[in-house]
Copies of this chain bind each other. A is one copy, B any other.
């Protein structure tokens, strides 16, 4: 029996419980034993949930339970999530997470701490929801020099751009609608300003090259300036505007940007519409690989979390070089200049 604890019982947390319950048979076949959710940390109570008896309000209950070997953190925000992660690792537990803010900000330190304590820190769900992009960089392309990584990493803005293109309308017209449909947070800045995509490209770049860039090293332009005129000018050329996050390495220096780009029908990213995400990896032997799927949503994100739980259970103290990150220094970074207008995406 593998006992796990969940931190956060919102959309992703309840999705993780659902996947563990519904896919019990396939998971136990993979693991050779059963999994059980021992505790769920949340500020709220859930009196009507079948998990009501598992809800705890104090992280110490989880930290003090020696039977819990894996903690899944799905709280969002840097604090207290990062502090709880640190405490769980120090208590000898592996931590898996969907929390991109923590990984982009503290990933290097938490990976070092996990290595020191002989446990895992895994975060496939932090980028691209159910798309297996981080493990592909760590494992499947492990013999490649990675030339660049780019993608459509934010489902909300891709949904908005898809609708703007279909209907020939501007940002101001789609914003209230996207909000009404629940595609945006009360404060939509992280999505529409490109910062959510910036955090994700930071994580992808760290998986590719082992260097964790600070957020202010990513040249970031969101979609708020896109007008109906931009949309129709692109359509007149048979193109679509997509918010593309891109990381490249030249002469040992990493350059990251997030900005609206013109994509042509010849590009695979052109076909990525609605809330879908895609990650395109260009490597020196495998060539161009594209991974496409549900970039967000309850079950796809939960799928990545639970697959990481399985990984942590099967290989509880593995120490792969792909997970040895250091903070990027000034010599590791080029900050690309911001240009006016919407640049075309090279194929």
Contact = CB atoms under 8 A, between A and B. Distances in A.
Interface of A: 19-20, 22-23, 26-27, 29-30, 32, 124, 130-132, 135-136, 139-145, 268, 270-271, 283-294, 297, 299-300, 302-304, 306-307, 309-311, 314-315, 320-322
A142 B306 CA distance: 8
A139 B139 contact: yes
Given A19-B143, A19-B285, A22-B284, 7 more contacts: A26-B142, A135-B135, A139-B139, A143-B309, A284-B299, A287-B297, A289-B293
Contacts of A300: 285-287
Given A286-B303, A289-B130, A142 B310 contact: yes
10 contacts: A26-B143, A27-B142, A130-B285, A132-B289, A135-B139, A143-B303, A270-B271, A285-B306, A286-B294, A291-B291
A100 B124 CA distance: 30
A340 B139 CA distance: 43
A307 B137 CA distance: 11
A109 B23 CA distance: 28
A342 B322 CA distance: 46
Contacts of A29: 321
A286 B292 contact: no
A289 B300 CA distance: 10
A322 B30 contact: yes
B132 A310 contact: no
A286 B276 CA distance: 12
Given A136-B136, A268-B292, A26 B287 contact: no
Given A145-B23, A291-B289, A307 B140 contact: yes
